[in-house]
Amino acid sequence: MTTILVTGCAGFIGSHLSEKLLELNYQVVGVDNFDPFYPAAIKKENMAGFIQHPNFHFHELDLRESGSLDYLNESVDLIVHLAGKAGVRPSIEDPQAYIDSNITATRNILDFMRTRKIQKLAFASSSSVYGNCQEVPFTETMNVDKAISPYAFTKKSCEVLNHTYHHLYDLDIINMRFFTVFGPRQRPDLAIRKFVRLISNQETIPMFGDGSTARDYTYVDDTVDGIVKCCNYLFDHESVFDTINLGNSYPILLSTMIETIGKTLGISPKIEQLPMQPGDVDQTFADISKAKNLIGYNPKTSFETGIQNFVNWFHQNQEK
């Protein structure tokens, strides 16, 4: 049975991916360190549906520590590296933590691959690497040297680090640039989950800027499908190093996002307009033609459907 190691398996995207891989009859080795960025209880709940699956093996460990993976006895065929410290604004407050959790942890993954002779890696990068690029949509060939947050520069640094190990050790790697993934189990700090909770409670929501910023929201099932397709591509090809956008190619204005949530909940949002936050980009907009051509990526979930799905999950979990 083919085995895939998923780092960050207890997180939002990692838990959905682990479920999908198990459904596809892969053996999954999951690792997570339950980073205190948000409560460990939420992450454990994310894994509740598959933690007991016979083909799932979980290890709690910290990838920042050199050699942390050495004791794993499972034979691994491919790694999907999703683990890392997330969040643009917190990275401005504590850049070193992001260097440790993103860059150092990724180097430890790459060294583990080299030691164990694991050739295949799908790496979670971010649309943040594009910074405030004025040209849209964002294509993978654009210059991404102008990061505007520590989070973004760590993701760009990891892409470069991956290329170095590909060049030196012939590792097959795809850098996957995610674009504002949303859906059930979304992190508590992210706007959609926060806004649904506040609007449901008839509380005021903060709107940074005039509502004209835009994000290329991508539903989690579509992102997971893209990751699986990247894995399939890596299994089928050798001497691979590539970078692809996994977005939706349909930016949604902040004002439209708020309006859609209000309409789905049947509640008129109360908005407090605030200044733009440092490190936030004006818009993200993915050109996904390369992903379509290379791996057959084809996102299917509309923003409205994704919001309805999230609201349904939110109500089922009775979060207040």
Q: Known catalytic residues?
A: 151
CA distance 272 to 269: 10
17 CB contacts (<8 Å, ≥6 apart)? 6, 9, 80, 82, 224, 227, 228
> Please, what's the b/e burial string for 125-157 (b: 16 or more CB within 10 A of its CB; e: otherwise)?
bbbbbbbebeebbbebeeebeebbbbbbbbbbb
178 contacts 297 by C-beta, under 8 angstroms: no
CA-CA distances (angstroms) from residue 125 to 74, 178, 307? Answer: 26, 6, 24
241 contacts 140 by C-beta, under 8 angstroms: no
Spacing of C-alpha 241 from chain mean position: 20
Whose tokens are 């890596």? That residue is 234
The two tokens of residue 254 are 């902040």
CA distance 291 to 300: 14
Sheet of strand 241-246, all strands in order from the earlier edge strand to the far edge: 56-60, 27-32, 3-7, 78-81, 120-126, 172-178, 241-246
CA distance 231 to 6: 12
